Amino acid sequence: MDMTTGNLPTEAWIESHCQSPPGTSRDRSGRRPGGNDLARSFHWRDAFHIGHSGIDQEHRRFFEQLANAAQFIDDPRRIERLFLDLFQELLRHLADEERVMDEVEFTGLAQHRLSHNVVAEQAKAALTIGCDGEWATALRLLGASVLEHVTEEDFKLRPLFGHTHSLGGTPSR
Ligand SMILES: [Fe+2]
Ligand SMILES: [Fe+2]
């Protein structure tokens, strides 16, 4: 399945790959982390803004969805659906962002696209881990991957939008 051309994992794919029996959810460590603690770790901060309101809004919404999904890590059917929604949201966002970069003639667009492909592949890997019943780990990996991309790659767009703020702290992961 090529995740970089907009092909999404379908519910049929989930059904044939996800083996989590109802009511089970565990972390790699064997712990069952509280959904609320996990949700808090996805708290979005204005310090992550790049200065383009549309992109900033999409970033914020993605992390709000992550935090919401974290409440359902013990509900396999629901978390599978929510993870697919996150995946869809992510691919839409990457395409929107590339459109904006194209409009402002960002010279780093080709390299940024490659980085988006990596993020999409990491999301797919996280989904596979979730399908093994480790949804907390899957969400953490997805959040870490996107946040790292935002702060290391999307931040390169800041000068184009006149953003002068520094990161101002350590991202919460
Ligand atoms: Fe982004
Ligand atoms: Fe990006």
| pLDDT tens-digit profile, the chain (173 residues) | 444 444 555 556 656 666 555 444 454 544 445 678 888 889 999 999 999 999 999 999 999 999 999 999 989 899 999 999 999 999 999 999 999 999 999 999 999 999 999 999 999 999 999 999 899 999 999 999 999 999 999 999 999 998 754 443 333 33
Considering every ligand atom shown, identify the ligand nearest to the alpha carbon of residue 49 and give its number. 1
Model pLDDT, residue 172:
34
Q: Are 20 and 27 in contact (CB under 8 A)?
A: no
- Distance in Å, CA 150 to ligand 1 centroid: 5
> What is the value of pTM for the model shown?
0.79
Ligand nearest to the CA of 106: 2
Answer left, alpha or beta for residue 108, where phi above 0 means left and psi between -120 and 50 means alpha.
alpha
Q: Where in the chain are the domains? A: 34-161
Q: By C-alpha distance, which of 100, 66, 102, 63 is closest to 82?
A: 66
With contact defined as beta carbons under 8 Å apart, do 78 and 68 qualify? no
Class of the domain covering 34-161: mainly alpha
